[in-house]
């Protein structure tokens, strides 16, 4: 029972992590040499906050279940990030990039299952 909650938290963590990366990407368009451009940048701020909450969600899930259960789900963040970059940023994918994403996801899952 409790592990369903943990898995749910991790899936939520992968969503927030991927959206965090998207906001960092959007915010990065407006940065330049002036360090103020990093700080007074609402999108960068949102991105950092999303990343932080993703970490908090993952760590709280980790308190309930083992890493081996959670890592295969944590690997989902690579899929979300790819979908977001295709959907919102109009980036182009190709076979090699998809194979790379799939391989990374399987690799992360294996590391979790091995641990």
Query: Which 8-state DSSP code applies to residue 34?
Result: S
**Residue 102 Cβ vs another protein, minimum distance, rounded to whole Å:** 7
Return the structure tokens found at 8: 């749910």
**H-assigned helices in the chain:** 2-28, 36-39, 42-62, 67-74, 76-87, 95-114
Rule CB under 8 A: say whether 94 interacts with another protein.
yes
Within its chain, how far is the Cα of 30 from the centroid? Answer: 22
**Residue 58 Cβ vs another protein, minimum distance, rounded to whole Å:** 13
Among 7, 12, 38, 53, binds another protein (CB under 8 A): 38
Query: Which 8-state DSSP code applies to residue 65?
Result: S
**Residue 76 Cβ vs another protein, minimum distance, rounded to whole Å:** 13
| Residues of the shown chain interacting with another protein in the complex, contacts defined by CB under 8 A | 18, 21-22, 24-25, 27-29, 31, 38, 44, 48, 78, 81-82, 84-86, 89, 91-97, 99-111, 113-115
């Amino acid at each position: 029972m409790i592990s369903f909650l943990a898995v749910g938290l991790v899936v939520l963590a992968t969503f927030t992590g991927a959206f965090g990366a998207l906001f960092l990407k959007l915010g990065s368009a407006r940065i330049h040499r002036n360090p103020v451009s990093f700080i007074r940048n609402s999108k960068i701020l949102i991105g950092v906050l999303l990343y932080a909450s993703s970490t908090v969600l993952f760590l709280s899930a980790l308190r309930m279940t083992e890493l081996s259960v959670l890592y295969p789900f944590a690997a989902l963040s690579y899929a979300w990030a790819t979908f977001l970059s295709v959907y919102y940023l109009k980036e182009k994918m190709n076979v090699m990039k998809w194979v790379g994403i799939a391989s990374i996801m399987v690799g992360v899952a294996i590391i979790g299952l091995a641990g």
